[in-house]
Amino acid sequence: MADKLTLIVEMVTVLGVAVSGGYLVSRLRQPVLLGYLLGGIVVGPAGLKLVTLEGDIQVLSEVGVALLLFALGVEFSLKDLLRLRVIALGGGSLQIILTILLAGALAYLTGWVQTVPKAIFLGAVLSLSSTAVVLKSLIERNEVQTIHGQVMLAILIVQDLGLGLMLAVLPALTQPTNIIGIALFTALLKVLLFLLGAILTGRWVIPFLIRLLAQSGSQELFLLGILVLCLGIALFTYAIGLGIAMGAFVAGLMISNVEYADHALDRVLPMRDVFATLFFVSIGILIDPGFLLANGWVLIGLIAVTMLGKAAIVALIVRGFGYSLKTALTVGIGINQIGEFSFVLAGVAQTQGLFSSRLYGLTVGTTAITLLLAPFMLKATPYLLQWLEQLPVLSPFLQLNDSPRLVGFEEELANHVVVVGYGRVGQTLVRMLYFQGHKILVIDNNEAALQTLRERRIPYLFGDASSTLVLEKANLTQAKAMAIALPDPMATRLTLKRALSLAPDLDITVRAHVNEEIDSLYQLGAQEVVQPEFEASLEMGAHMLLKLGDSTYAVQQVVNRYRRGRYRDILPERSEYWGAADLEVAIEGLQHHWYSLHSDSPLVGMTLAQTNARRLTGATVMAIERNKQLYRYPTGEFTLTSGDRLLVVGNSQEHVAFTKLLKGEA
């Protein structure tokens, strides 16, 4: 009886340790994938020896691979790919090819691998990045719609698409040297014939079958039909030598354009998560911590070479496609990890005999550690760029790449309204100002978005709005007002801070992305901060109050009161909110320093308004610490006392000026 229950015991063990490990790392704000790998190590041969991959768990993990790639195919966005087709198809393909060539050549020349096929397979493994980790980090940081976020996702989409081709073609490299050319030709021919059949089937047969399943009204039949379709096509491609993963990915692509695609994905996702967990834990089972420790220096070298080399390749490609150096570096650092689907490729390589146990172990270890480091690298990128901007050698390059190009203004810039960001919010704002007859200058660095401005002959400045060079060219001292509607929170703060450094009296309205930004943007000097979600709720509330019989005047007074109070009266009722916004997020990307206020400072006894610090120095006081209590975003009425510690943001010159102000030398 015990033997019959072996599979159930192993499944409970694997899933139980996955839950425990995933929960632990999620509490530490790390990808749950890391917890699955750690769980596998614990129960595997290198740990408690509770599970091996000699039983049915290996088969179930293969189902996890198939469902992972099936879901990837369903989620594949041809629309997103075409919108950024130049950098996606050109840059993404070039990144894969260069990574394979350079990484493979380095591995071959240094003796890491002994044959060219092994070198190519290793380069392919290193060429993939983690769509899941990068997308999650971009969403958490509200950077999906930024230039660098869009470029990252465009390249990642092409990598996902390239994975299917790799899985089909690369196994042909295992053939003897004298017939490898024929094997590759045969593999490509199989792929082309299979794809042709998949296109025809996906156009005429699949929609009909999916519609029949949906019309049955049975959710169970619908799910079973989708699973049979996915695994059936995967088994077919396995039978013709293209592998299970290739068939599952194409099956997802075949369904992606069917009207029931979202419903199919929703049904499959729970099963995908369960079986994919088995796959990732099975990878952990194969990891031997003792082996990794014994090869620690080799592993560190591999990680360093991989992350630095991949970042350099990606950054050079993005820069070569005309994006700013700052964007190129951000994208390069953002996708310099090795992705979770590299585990799939590495597994294929080991199965085909291309990777030795040592090479496979090092590859898996390198992949796992780069995935762990990825979120930290993304978070540290703004600080790295800030540090690079301060280096005399690199600063000119980081500034010059902004390419401030003024188009459409023939006379001298004066009495104009500056609109920063030409996305959905910026476009609406520009239309309002345009039809009211105001002189407008738009700042944006998205060439595609500016086509409308050229057609309507609206003046614009092409460049990064957070660059001092670009803001200087906008002649802010002669501007009437400024509106910042950027999708990137950090770029918003930098633009606001630097704009006020050039024009302290400029009336600036800023779009906030989340609730926590409202107070920090006011503190940095914005005259008005608009939070779109709150504005929508105010308009809906006003409409309902009018319908309920309240007078127009009364409704207007209510709305104005909420706006004057910075939305605080309608914020979620959380006792910890007041003054508890995350300062780390608020000052991210800004140079900041803590100053102690000594008894001999002339500022002691003065209110913040009386110090006139922002006008005199350009710096902003973001928080004050007194008697171990932190006062975030202090108002102008806050009185300074001896012993206070002030958190101040500003550039290098502004910090020098603030130091002099503290000493009474200003």
Distance from CA of residue 631 to its chain's centroid?
Answer: 32
The mean pLDDT of 309-317, rounded to a whole number, is 92
- Other CB atoms within 10 Å distance of the CB of residue 52: 15
**What 3-state DSSP class applies to 569?**
helix
- The length of the chain in residues reads 666
- The vertex-528 CA angle with 659 and 501, nearest 5°, equals 30
The mean pLDDT of 171-189, rounded to a whole number, is 73
DSSP string, 246-296: HHHHHHHHHHHTSTTHHHHHHHHHHHHHHHHHHHHHHHHHH--HHHHHHTH
- Is residue 574 scored above 50 in pLDDT? no
Q: Which range has the worst mean pLDDT, 60-64, 297-301, 330-334, 586-590?
A: 586-590
Q: Identify which has the larger pLDDT, 311 or 188.
A: 311
Model confidence pLDDT, tens digit, residues 590-638 = 788 899 888 888 888 888 888 888 888 888 888 888 887 888 888 888 8
CB 451 within 8 A of CB 433: no
- The vertex-150 CA angle with 323 and 434, nearest 5°, equals 80
Closest CA to 87 of 145, 143, 148: 148
- Is residue 580 scored above 50 in pLDDT? no
Distance from CA of residue 329 to its chain's centroid?
Answer: 14
Name the band, by pLDDT with cuts 50, 70 and 90, for residue 77. low
Q: Which range has the worst mean pLDDT, 76-85, 209-218, 268-277, 651-660?
A: 76-85
- Is residue 575 scored above 60 in pLDDT? no
Q: Of all helices (H) and strands (E), which one includes residue 433?
A: helix 424-435
Closest CA to 618 of 506, 509, 504, 523: 504
End-to-end CA distance of the chain: 86
pLDDT at residue number 578: 40
Q: Identify which has the larger pLDDT, 184 or 237.
A: 237
Residue labelled with tokens 């039949």: 221
The mean pLDDT of 381-389, rounded to a whole number, is 75
Residue labelled with tokens 């015991």: 9
Q: What is the mean pLDDT of the chain?
A: 80
The mean pLDDT of 445-454, rounded to a whole number, is 71
pLDDT at residue number 203: 80
Q: Name the H helices within 321-416.
A: 325-334, 342-351, 357-390, 395-400
Model confidence pLDDT, tens digit, residues 241-252 = 776 777 887 888
pLDDT at residue number 140: 64
Model confidence pLDDT, tens digit, residues 21-31 = 888 888 877 77
- 156 — phi, psi (to 5°)? -65, -35
Q: Identify which has the larger pLDDT, 6 or 321.
A: 321
**What 3-state DSSP class applies to 216?**
coil
Q: Identify which has the larger pLDDT, 153 or 639.
A: 639
The mean pLDDT of 563-574, rounded to a whole number, is 58
- Is residue 401 scored above 50 in pLDDT? no
The mean pLDDT of 134-155, rounded to a whole number, is 75
Q: Identify which has the larger pLDDT, 58 or 99.
A: 99
pTM for this model (two decimals): 0.68
Residue labelled with tokens 């989340």: 514
The mean pLDDT of 397-408, rounded to a whole number, is 55
Q: Identify which has the larger pLDDT, 348 or 308.
A: 308
- Is residue 313 scored above 90 in pLDDT? yes
Tally the C-alpha atoms within 13 A of residue 521's C-alpha that lie toward its C-beta: 28
pLDDT at residue number 417: 92
- Is residue 586 scored above 80 in pLDDT? no
pLDDT at residue number 577: 39
Across 419-451, b (16+ Cβ under 10 Å) vs e yields bbbbbebbbebbeebeeeeebbbbbbbeeebbe
Q: What are the structure tokens assigned to 186, written together?
A: 């045969």
- Cα pseudo-dihedral 88, 90, 91, 92, rounded to 10: 60
CB 608 within 8 A of CB 623: no
Alpha-carbon Rg for the chain in angstroms: 29
Q: Which strands make up the sheet holding 620-626, listed edge to edge? A: 592-596, 645-649, 620-626, 629-632
Q: How far is CA 237 from CA 30, 58, 241, 243, 249, in A?
A: 36, 19, 6, 6, 11
- Is residue 392 scored above 70 in pLDDT? no
- Cα pseudo-dihedral 372, 374, 375, 376, rounded to 10: 90
pLDDT at residue number 55: 61
Name the band, by pLDDT with cuts 50, 70 and 90, for residue 482. very high
Spatial distance between the Cα atoms of 570 and 306, rounded to a whole number of angstroms: 49
Q: How far is CA 266 from CA 71, 222, 230, 247, 271, in A?
A: 10, 11, 14, 20, 10
Q: Which range has the worst mean pLDDT, 105-109, 278-282, 444-448?
A: 444-448
Model confidence pLDDT, tens digit, residues 220-234 = 888 888 888 888 888
**What 3-state DSSP class applies to 621?**
strand
